[in-house]
Structure 1
Amino acid sequence: MMLLLYLGSRKPKGYPPGPKWLPILGSALEVAKIRKKTGFLHATCTLLSEKYGPIVGLKIGKDRIVILNNYESMKSMLMNEDCDVTDGSLWIEQRKFLLRHLRNFGFGKNDMATMIEEEAMYLVNNLITQLESNILINNKYNDINKYKNNIKNDGIIYQLTSQEYKKNSSDNWHQESIDNLIRKNLPKTIKIEDMYMKAEDYAEVRKLTQKKEMIVQMDEVFGVSILNTLWRMMAGKRFNQDDKQLIHLQKILTTLLKELDMIGCPFGHFPILKYIAPKASGYTKFMETHQQLWAFLNEELLDHKKTFDSDIPKDLMDAYLKILQTESSGETFSELQLLAICVDLFMAGTETTTKALNFCFLYLVLYPDVQKKAQDEIDRVIGRDRLPFLSDRPRMTYVNAISLEAVRMFMGRTMNIPHRALKDTWIMGHRIPKDTMIVANFNRVLMNDSWGDPEVFRPERFIDEKGNISVPDQYMPFSIGKHHCMGEVLAKSNIFLFTAALLQTFTFSPVPGEEPTTKFHDGVTASPLPFRVLITKRY
């Protein structure tokens, strides 16, 4: 036993420099000490790099971990055939399947553009209906809870929505279709005698409809919409903005992912914690969230199988089920693996693009001059008569630059997806033993001093003297080479189109007395602290 403990604390020959390894713990104590001081994983890795150099070798529990802290080492790793996200035919076949069939169902094509445009339209309309219906609610009741308690028996709303009410008599009856009906009828067809308010009150309502502003919890705006752009290709359906089960799952997943990070979790590095301290190590919460998500997705799969037609695959899920019917599906394809793909896509919709948009609008509120400049470009290129199309992007340099800057601000506060050495390999003169985890600290390439003012939200940094988009080599938030993120096209399209559509329709301002902060949560990826904004409809 003593010999094993001794050997486990010895660093492999040629391994990158780093903190001393203790038996069993490795360098966990020093890493934990620095992280407690900095509060963030990327900041911890940056401090370690200042002491040990750009390539830092760690061991936490049973796992060897190498942290890359400059562009040269990251490029070397990402172009290295011996380093990958995972190994084996399973990953290769699943990636091929996704790339092939996502294209078949619109990924990177006009169909994808149409889906994103539609989701942007749904979101804009949903916010408009909230604005206009809230005017009537606030005028009559002055309190949203009183509204909820009385709305079903109230004359004006009941008359406008009686047919919808009969079809949707549950507590969740007040959905987008009803909001839409209220919005259509509010300015023009309401009869004064049908309202429980005086004529002068109605005149006041008409005045209020001309202002149209409300407070929104901005970090909760995009989750359903972004997931829909993925889910329509994956399962051929979209979720309502007020789908309670979906919103619950996204919230608990977001909470869980704030407690993990890109180098793992305590029970991952020290498996014994799953048994001796399941709650304290986070294992219990991880499993509960995991089980709820899998149950939700399994129910989606069961519903899908009821309408499955192998002759007419409607979406990615159908295409996968069709493969499962063939004898050649082999061991790499299974319903379990299909659910795993669904989990990955669900997390991608919840964790990446949504958070990038949250950062984007946080900074647009803090930098109103940037917001105004974008709105001027939108008005000049598109006008106000239609929502933006993805085809407008080549003519909208400044909004494109905002998208690039928002991703820099988001990914510059996180780490890249972990890779591992498939066999013994070398990175810039350092030996990396097989099965070592390799993680790139994106903060050191996206937020370093070479940007001049990295903490400032300045889209102009991506526009050259000729007015064209110019992106430096070190800007690689979607990775490079064969490790390139296959969701880059969708992510960039989503960020551009949702930003353009919302800025065309609304102006976003701080809530009086609630200046948003640029402080953020650490986790698998960074996320802004919850923030509210005042949105005003533009005219």
Structure 2
Amino acid sequence: MMLLIAFVIFFILFFSDHIFKRPRFYPPGPRQLPLFGNLFSVLLKLRSLKYHYRVWQAWSHVYGNILGLRLGLVNVVVVSGKDFIREVSNREVFEGRPNGFFFVMRSFGKKMGIVFNDGSSWTKTRRVVLKYLKNFGYNTRYMENYISEECRALVNLRMSDAGQPIQANDMFHITIVNILWRLVAGKRYDLEDAKLKTLCDLITRLFNAVDMSGGVLNFLPFLRHVAPGLSGYNALRASHDSIHSFVKETIEQHEQSLDVSNPRDVIDAFLIEKMERKGQSFTDEELQVVCLDLLEAGMETVSNTAVFMLLHIVRNDDVQKLLHDEIDDVIGTQRTPSLADRARMVYTEAVLLESLRISSVAALGIPHMALEDAQLGNYLIPKGTLLLLAMHDLHNGNHWNDPTAFRPERFITKDGNLMQDEWLMPFGTGKRRCIGEGLARSELFMFLTHLLQKFRIKLPEGDPLPSTEPNNGLSLSAKPFRVIFEPRA
């Protein structure tokens, strides 16, 4: 203990000039403490407000749309309002990703992959990944076939337990993994596969463990040496290791059965390029992180949105009735839904938009980082500053009339046409806009139409209305609730 105290005192004295001074022209915010900055203020606020996005929102209402904080050793700026969010998302100087410990611990201590990478490495990786995904069917008719196949499997599973209460929160996990994993690894899993259920549970727990700012390990990374258990490091490390093990095993299976003249999927294509361009292509670690990005980001955000969509449907019988009416009118009962139906299903599309708005599962987007000193509004953002985008506040703020109400009609014009709203940015905007947006929108439409064509969804007798209050985490998720899938006559 004495050694720890001596270390902290030495640390503070040595870096006092850096720690104590607020950067010149830095955005306003609550008072900061030496070394810890606003960390204790955040913890106190969380006791009453419960969610990180609400803490940032409360302070933004006091200090303005550009909120300046210091969390441990890291400058953090929270950006609110449509115009500032668009500016940060579209300026090259803010295209960086944070290089804090939490963000690189999953990628071997380096910036790699797609989600938390930047610069020329990100540009190259993104281009190659998109090329290979498209080569194997991404955003083509093949992709729709994969989605349809998984939706039919999901409907069959729900038929097998029809009339029985089921836990809604994890019902889309394997379905979503299968759709993308068919392209990435050429494989699908049974929806009841125990191994994949365990993997999906690990990813969920990982996403629930910390908020998108990176948590205490990101701001005081030395704590992993002092208190690895208490700081959460051991749990995060164990989860990452298990997920990496699954990905590595999948890649090794591909290496053992690789046919260079007949690539089967994205992993094969990467391995062949690696063989043909020795020393100039992607490393084993980079391929592993790309697979990790596609697996984690692809599953968790879409699954959480789909679950919130079900939650609001079972809370609003009138919405479910209108969905049933439109499905019966446009699709009928004799054929399965297809993506071509979207153009004629205005109300269904409006339900999807309202689900994306009200759930806003990526409450703070994915953090940006200032690559150089830059002006934003009237303030100077120092190089290396982590920028969080207040997306949940954008989607649930004053722009929307009665924002806490689930009203798909807000996206329908008086003439009955679908209306887009520039304040809705569930997949971000600018060059770092989510590459999976098209797939996510297609999945949500197909999940909704396939399930409601066959079932009426209701709550088990005696169960309370599911709470609209989310679980905190990297992405917001619904609190546990049960539903019954009742076959329609």
Q: TM-score, normalised by structure 1?
A: 0.83
1:338 and 2:287 aligned: yes
- State the match for 1:47 in structure 2: 58
**Alpha-carbon separation, structure 2, partners of 1:477 and 1:88:** 24
- State the match for 1:21 in structure 2: 32
> Residue type of the partner of 1:367?
N
- State the match for 1:112 in structure 2: 143
1:58 and 2:47 aligned: no
Q: Deviations over 1:289-309 (max 9, x none)?
A: 111111111111111112211
Instruction: Give the SS at the match of 2:161.
Output: helix
8 Å contact from structure 2 (residues 25, 380) kept in 1: yes
Choose which of 124, 127, 132 in structure 2 pairs with 1:96. 127
**Alpha-carbon separation, structure 2, partners of 1:97 and 1:321:** 13
Q: What's the offset of the Cα at 1:328?
A: 5.7
Task: Note the residue ranges of structure 1 that are not aligned, 5 or more in a row.
Answer: 132-212
**Alpha-carbon separation, structure 2, partners of 1:328 and 1:482:** 30
8 Å contact from structure 2 (residues 301, 361) kept in 1: no
1:437 and 2:386 aligned: yes
- State the match for 1:289 in structure 2: 239
1:406 and 2:417 aligned: no
**Alpha-carbon separation, structure 2, partners of 1:59 and 1:477:** 27
- State the match for 1:523 in structure 2: 473
1:495 and 2:444 aligned: yes
- Which consecutive segments of 4 or more residues in structure 1 shift more than 6 A? none
Assess, with a 3 A threshold, how the Cα gap between structure 1 residues 507 and 120 changes in structure 2: closer, same or farther: same
- State the match for 2:191 in structure 1: 241
**Alpha-carbon separation, structure 1, partners of 2:67 and 2:424:** 22
Q: Deviations over 1:263-293 (max 9, x none)?
A: 0021121111101111111100000011111
**Alpha-carbon separation, structure 2, partners of 1:438 and 1:338:** 27
Mapping 1:229-378, distance limit 5 Å? 229-327=179-277, 330=280, 333-378=282-327
**Alpha-carbon separation, structure 2, partners of 1:230 and 1:429:** 43
**Alpha-carbon separation, structure 1, partners of 2:361 and 2:305:** 11
**Alpha-carbon separation, structure 2, partners of 1:81 and 1:349:** 25
- State the match for 2:80 in structure 1: 69
**Alpha-carbon separation, structure 2, partners of 1:257 and 1:227:** 16
Instruction: Give the SS at the match of 1:219.
Output: coil
Q: What's the offset of the Cα at 1:89?
A: 2.2
**Alpha-carbon separation, structure 1, partners of 2:142 and 2:221:** 45
Q: Deviations over 1:388-436 (max 9, x none)?
A: 0111111111111111111112216711100101111121222111111
Q: Deviations over 1:432-451 (max 9, x none)?
A: 11111111011221001221
**Alpha-carbon separation, structure 2, partners of 1:436 and 1:252:** 30
8 Å contact from structure 1 (residues 55, 66) kept in 2: yes
**Alpha-carbon separation, structure 1, partners of 2:360 and 2:62:** 24
Q: How many residues are paired up?
A: 457
1:385 and 2:416 aligned: no
> Residue type of the partner of 1:37?
S
1:130 and 2:79 aligned: no
- State the match for 1:174 in structure 2: none
- State the match for 2:424 in structure 1: 475
Q: Deviations over 1:169-197 (max 9, x none)?
A: xxxxxxxxxxxxxxxxxxxxxxxxxxxxx
**Alpha-carbon separation, structure 2, partners of 1:6 and 1:523:** 33
Residue identity (%): 34
Q: Deviations over 1:323-349 (max 9, x none)?
A: 11123652x611111110111111123
Instruction: Give the SS at the match of 2:263.
Output: coil
**Alpha-carbon separation, structure 2, partners of 1:3 and 1:310:** 56
8 Å contact from structure 1 (residues 223, 349) kept in 2: no
- State the match for 1:8 in structure 2: 19
8 Å contact from structure 2 (residues 158, 485) kept in 1: no
**Alpha-carbon separation, structure 2, partners of 1:286 and 1:49:** 30
Q: Deviations over 1:180-216 (max 9, x none)?
A: xxxxxxxxxxxxxxxxxxxxxxxxxxxxxxxxx2211
Structure 1 vs Structure 2 CA RMSD = 1.4
Q: TM-score, normalised by structure 2?
A: 0.91
**Alpha-carbon separation, structure 1, partners of 2:273 and 2:354:** 41
> Residue type of the partner of 1:105?
F
Q: What's the offset of the Cα at 1:350?
A: 2.7
8 Å contact from structure 1 (residues 308, 318) kept in 2: yes
> Residue type of the partner of 1:483?
R
> Residue type of the partner of 1:473?
E
- State the match for 2:104 in structure 1: none
Task: Note the residue ranges of structure 2 that are not aligned, 5 or more in a row.
Answer: 1-9, 98-116
8 Å contact from structure 1 (residues 520, 529) kept in 2: yes
**Alpha-carbon separation, structure 2, partners of 1:45 and 1:478:** 20
**Alpha-carbon separation, structure 2, partners of 1:430 and 1:443:** 23
8 Å contact from structure 1 (residues 258, 523) kept in 2: yes
Instruction: Give the SS at the match of 1:514.
Output: coil
Q: Deviations over 1:446-480 (max 9, x none)?
A: 00122111111111111111211111111111111
> Residue type of the partner of 1:422?
L
